[in-house]
A = this chain, B = another copy of it.
Amino acid sequence: MDFEAYFPIWQKLSAAQQELLRGHLAERSVKKGTVVHGGGMECTGLLMVKQGQLRAYMLSEDGREITLYRLFERDMCLFSASCMMNSIQFDITIEAEKDTTMWVIPAEIYRQIMADSAPAANFTNEIMASRFSDVMWLMDQVLWKRFDQRLAGFLLEEANIEGTNTLRLTHETIGKHLGNPREVVTRMLKYFSGEGFVRLSRGTVELCDTEGLRKIVEG
């Protein structure tokens, strides 16, 4: 089983802990668009991405969204296993952004291993600190950055993730990532288009002047 190669602290677990983990691990494959955790779903378990891409987002009571962070190959999601820790008092939703294969570790098994293994607990600490940093960055953006800076930064990041300057994204989807209504996105994209930073067509945004977008981000 190649989970061992993906889990960075595998060698630091005892033989009994490795056995326990191996015995409860499940592999799961989902299609793009599948919601793998959320909506008061029971404790799904920890997810480790083998291949594909997951998106973690917050959902408001009235259905608005904002993207918190992405999980790529080898990334692990703790918050789909919030029952693992008493102090996790919030809910997020996780959706496959591409066809994705992942391992699922039951929360209770992981909690049990963490209780005895300092390496496992410290690994978990680092993951949590890393997600915390993502959310603090986002908070800074939402609170103090202008929308043009956030949109320009988002487009550049997407181009980087996808490895192309032609992004297949609707204005609605962009709004869900950034936590803004579609109309606000459309208005700003039109402005970007007028300035020659992007070219718009049905369902795609093409970045024409990444240098210009970068200058907007820097403010």
Contacts and interface: CB of A to CB of B under 8 A. Distances in A.
Interface of A: 58, 60-62, 64, 66, 85-90, 114-118, 120-122, 124-133, 135-140, 142-144, 179
Q: How many monomers of this protein are in the complex?
A: 2
Given A58-B140, A64-B144, A139-B135, A88 B129 contact: yes
27 contacts: A58-B136, A58-B140, A60-B143, A64-B144, A85-B125, A87-B126, A87-B130, A87-B133, A89-B133, A90-B133, A90-B136, A114-B122, A114-B125, A116-B118, A117-B118, A118-B120, A121-B121, A124-B125, A125-B128, A131-B132, A135-B135, A135-B136, A135-B139, A139-B139, A142-B142, A142-B143, A143-B179
Contact of A118 (B66, B118, B136, B143): B118
8 smallest beta-carbon distances between A and B, as pairs: A121-B121, A87-B129, A87-B130, A89-B133, A90-B136, A60-B144, A118-B118, A87-B126
A140 B179 CA distance: 11
B58 A143 contact: yes
Contacts of A122: 114-115, 121
A91 B205 CA distance: 34
A47 B179 CA distance: 35
B86 A126 contact: yes
A98 to B, nearest CB: 25
A138 to B, nearest CB: 7
A88 B132 contact: yes
Nearest to A145: B60
Contacts of A138: 139
Contacts of A64: 143-144
Given A60-B143, A85-B126, 11 more contacts: A58-B143, A64-B144, A87-B129, A87-B130, A88-B132, A88-B133, A89-B130, A115-B118, A138-B139, A139-B142, A143-B179
- Kindly name the residue among A90, A127, A135 whose own CB sees the greatest number of chain B CB atoms within 10 A: A90
